[in-house]
């Protein structure tokens, strides 16, 4: 059962930021105990995830490109998404200076005094604004992080009162970044369909005209016990796809591939593309939504900017017809509002994708 806001606040009476600054031992609620995915310090796999040049997928430039090269990159895309479920995208056309500005305003916002950040605080039971993870159970292991969540599209869903006015350029830079990421997402839906020999709008039409895009700015303060505390617990994303801008210097993201944790290096100009649960459903399980987590660092803080795309909540989504046949029967039922299903399951400690399986 969800805790009342008063109980939730009592559990978080000491802020992660305060404990981080004082170098205090994290309290018990943050200590990761036995986990299905191994201990925090379990050895890392040496596998590396692919780097894909997505400029090869854009129509105007691909017309004067070698078709064989495009075909090979599409094969690489299909193979990456059906094994690791993620890849590093280069050739996305977003300038390094814009990426650096996004990282910079993110760091500037989180460096503001707590009272200033609280002006954008998330209200209880709301998905947008600044805060820590919602506490839903006393057994919940807490994450050593804060985040600012903002809706970017549809544009009329923006709650501008929650967009930081400090630093002053935050809104302008974020609008530009969000608009560029939306185009990258649209290019990726088409390329993902083409890589499976489907009509190119097979996925995008399921997202609808009013597909949603939300950005989560994540902030992980230094933690004195990186061996026992996680910045973000193992999870899969509820999205269709997630595009992640990593911190330019500090790593922390790990993806669970073939029973081992794989470290995701931070390549300054690359965007990490992570497949979400809803694309796993639409691809009838061919593409995989990977379990991932964020580890903490005893000396350095880390930021990341994760943008999640989702179909219109009231729209029914399901496996694309052409991906269902005798060899690959339908794995998932059609669903609406998967975001809510995912959230409810998270509260109950259930795996959301399992509940929509046939």
Contact map string, positions 149 to 168, toward ligand AKG, x by CB under 6 A: --------------------
d(CA 238, CA 149): 14
Please select the residue that binds ligand AKG; options are 106, 214, 218, 307, rule is CB under 6 A. 218
CB 224 within 8 A of CB 26: yes
d(CA 356, CA 358): 7
Judged by beta carbon distances under 5 to 8 A according to partner kind, the member of Fe ion, ligand AKG, none in contact with residue 253 is ligand AKG
151 or 218: whose CB is closer to ligand AKG? 218
CA-based max dimension of the chain: 61
What is the smallest separation between the CB atom of 234 and Fe ion, expressed in angstroms? 10
Contact map string, positions 266 to 295, toward Fe ion, x by CB under 5 A: ------------------------------
294 or 320: whose CB is closer to ligand AKG? 294
In the structure encoding, which two tokens stand for residue 226, read together? 């990186």
Residues 194-253 that bind Fe ion (CB under 5 A): 237
d(CA 276, CA 126): 21
Please work out the total of residues on this chain that contact ligand AKG, with binding judged by CB under 6 A.
11
Judged by beta carbon distances under 5 to 8 A according to partner kind, the member of Fe ion, ligand AKG, none in contact with residue 275 is none
306 or 335: whose CB is closer to ligand AKG? 306
The answer to the question of residue 294 lying near ligand AKG (CB under 6 A) is yes
d(CA 256, CA 207): 27
181 or 331: whose CB is closer to ligand AKG? 181
Judged by beta carbon distances under 5 to 8 A according to partner kind, the member of ligand AKG, Fe ion, none in contact with residue 353 is none
152 or 244: whose CB is closer to ligand AKG? 244
In sign, the C-alpha dihedral spanning 105, 110, 115, 121 is positive
Which of 87, 88, 78 lies closest to 287, judged by CA? 78
The answer to the question of residue 253 lying near ligand AKG (CB under 6 A) is yes
d(CA 58, CA 226): 41
> DSSP of 111-163, one letter per residue?
TS-HHHHGGGBPPTT-SSEEESPPP--TTPPPPS-EEEEEEEESGGG--GGGS
What is the smallest separation between the CB atom of 272 and ligand AKG, expressed in angstroms? 8
Judged by beta carbon distances under 5 to 8 A according to partner kind, the member of Fe ion, ligand AKG, none in contact with residue 284 is none
54 or 232: whose CB is closer to ligand AKG? 232
What is the smallest separation between the CB atom of 197 and ligand AKG, expressed in angstroms? 30
d(CA 65, CA 59): 10
d(CA 220, CA 110): 10
What is the smallest separation between the CB atom of 290 and ligand AKG, expressed in angstroms? 10
d(CA 200, CA 188): 10
Residues 231-250 that bind ligand AKG (CB under 6 A): 232, 237, 244, 246
d(CA 167, CA 10): 31
- Residue ranges that bind Fe ion, judged by CB under 5 A: 237
- Residue ranges that bind ligand AKG, judged by CB under 6 A: 216, 218, 232, 237, 244, 246, 253, 292, 294, 304, 306
């Amino acid at each position: 059962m969800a805790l009342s806001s008063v109980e939730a606040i009592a559990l978080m009476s000491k802020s992660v930021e305060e404990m981080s600054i004082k170098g205090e031992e994290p309290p018990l609620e943050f200590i990761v105990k036995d986990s299905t995915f191994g201990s925090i310090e379990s050895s890392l796999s040496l596998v590396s995830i692919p780097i894909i040049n997505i400029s090869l997928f854009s129509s105007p430039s691909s017309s004067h490109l070698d078709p064989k090269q495009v075909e090979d990159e599409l094969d690489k895309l299909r193979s990456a998404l059906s094994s690791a479920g993620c890849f590093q995208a280069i050739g996305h056309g977003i300038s390094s200076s814009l990426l650096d500005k996004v990282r910079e305003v993110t760091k500037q916002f989180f460096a503001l005094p707590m009272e200033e950040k609280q002006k954008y605080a998330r209200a209880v039971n709301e998905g947008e604004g600044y805060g820590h993870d919602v506490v839903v159970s006393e057994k919940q292991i807490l994450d050593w992080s804060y985040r600012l969540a903002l809706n970017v599209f549809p544009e009329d869903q923006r709650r501008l009162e929650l967009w930081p006015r400090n630093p002053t350029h935050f809104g302008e830079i974020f609008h530009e970044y969000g608009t560029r990421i939306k185009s990258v997402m649209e290019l990726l839906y088409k390329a993902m369909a083409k890589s499976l020999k489907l009509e190119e709008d097979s996925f995008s039409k399921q997202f609808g005209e009013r597909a949603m895009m939300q950005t989560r700015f994540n902030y992980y303060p230094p933690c004195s016990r990186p061996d026992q505390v996680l910045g973000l617990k193992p999870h899969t994303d509820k999205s269709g796809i997630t595009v992640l801008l990593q911190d330019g210097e500090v790593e922390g993201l790990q993806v669970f591939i073939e029973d081992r944790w794989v470290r995701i290096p931070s390549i300054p100009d690359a965007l990490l593309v992570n497949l979400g649960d809803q694309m796993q459903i639409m691809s009838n399980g061919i593409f995989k939504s990977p379990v991932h987590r964020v580890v903490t660092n005893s000396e350095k803080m880390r930021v990341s900017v994760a943008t999640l795309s989702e179909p219109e909540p009231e729209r029914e989504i399901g496996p694309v017809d052409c991906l269902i046949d005798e060899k690959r029967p339908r794995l998932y039922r059609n669903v609406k509002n998967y975001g809510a299903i995912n959230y409810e399951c998270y509260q109950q400690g259930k795996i959301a994708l399992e509940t929509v399986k046939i």
